[in-house]
Amino acid sequence: MGRPLPTRFYARDTERVARDLLGCVVETRVRGVRTAGRIVEVEAYVGPHDAAAHGYGWRKTARNARLFGPPGTCYVYFVYGNHWCANVVTERDGYPSAVLLRALEPLDGLDAMRRRRGTGSPRLWCSGPGRLCEALGITGGFDGEGLAGPRIRIYRPARQLPLRIATSPRIGITRAADRPLRFYLRDSSWLSRREGQERGTWERRSRSARQ
């Protein structure tokens, strides 16, 4: 188990946090079962002026209240009456911005992931926000939970090679649909979707260049 990222990591510009989460590991412990995956794809939702964000126009409801919480906590919501989506709350307390976890590379607890997902195909375990929540056992009970606790944490791996980060428009939205706020590891084979990569941009970044 790695040392969790500090609160100050999340208390920054949302786009920067989104980029810096790539390559990090998210780990859960649910009923004594540990699962973990490397973050390979995320989307940034950058606050009350982002028309695609749940907190657009400072709209606060019982459903999205945790989005307005302190940085370094979970915002988990249910969509399509079918699955959960997990977000990392960013910037400052009371400001509705977050990073959606879109895809992971499975690392540990593979038997549990297979059982929870009900499929033997590893590529279908964590390639999508709903899939990764199911694989890691993330449900609405994680909403508002800190990301440095016993049940869920995010940390940097001990060794990290340089990353090739690509960007593209976010997936499955109709408002602010052209903004390049989806960030992913260009060379990963674990992404939720590969269409449109050629239209995106990419950059090479090393972990040593990050704060």
pLDDT at position 16 is 98
Q: Which of 130, 127, 124 is nearest to 188 (CA)?
A: 127
- Count structural domains, the chain: 1
From the first residue on, what is the mean pLDDT of each consecutive set of 10 residues in the chain (211 residues)? Answer: 91 98 98 97 97 96 97 95 94 98 98 95 96 98 96 92 92 93 96 64 48 37
| Residue-level pLDDT at 204 | 55
The predicted structure's pLDDT at residue 163: 92
Q: Which residues pair with 20 in a beta bridge?
A: none
Q: How many CA atoms lie within 13 A of 142 on its CB side?
A: 30
> How many residues can be counted in the chain?
211
Q: Is residue 1 part of a domain?
A: no
Of the candidates 70, 101, 61, 99, the residue with the CA atom closest to the CA atom of residue 85: 101
pLDDT of residue 80: 80
Which pLDDT score is estimated for 2? Answer: 76
For residue 111, the surrounding DSSP H or E stretch is: helix 110-117
The predicted pLDDT at position 110 comes to: 98
- 2 in a domain, yes or no? no
Distance of CA 186 to the CA centre of its chain: 16
pTM above 0.75, yes or no: yes
163 domain residue, yes or no: yes
- State the Cα torsion 173-174-175-179 to the nearest 10°: 60
Supply the pLDDT for residue 194. 73
134 within a domain of the structure (yes/no): yes
Residue 205 lies in a domain: yes
CATH code (residue 96): 3.10.300.10
Domain range holding 19? 7-209
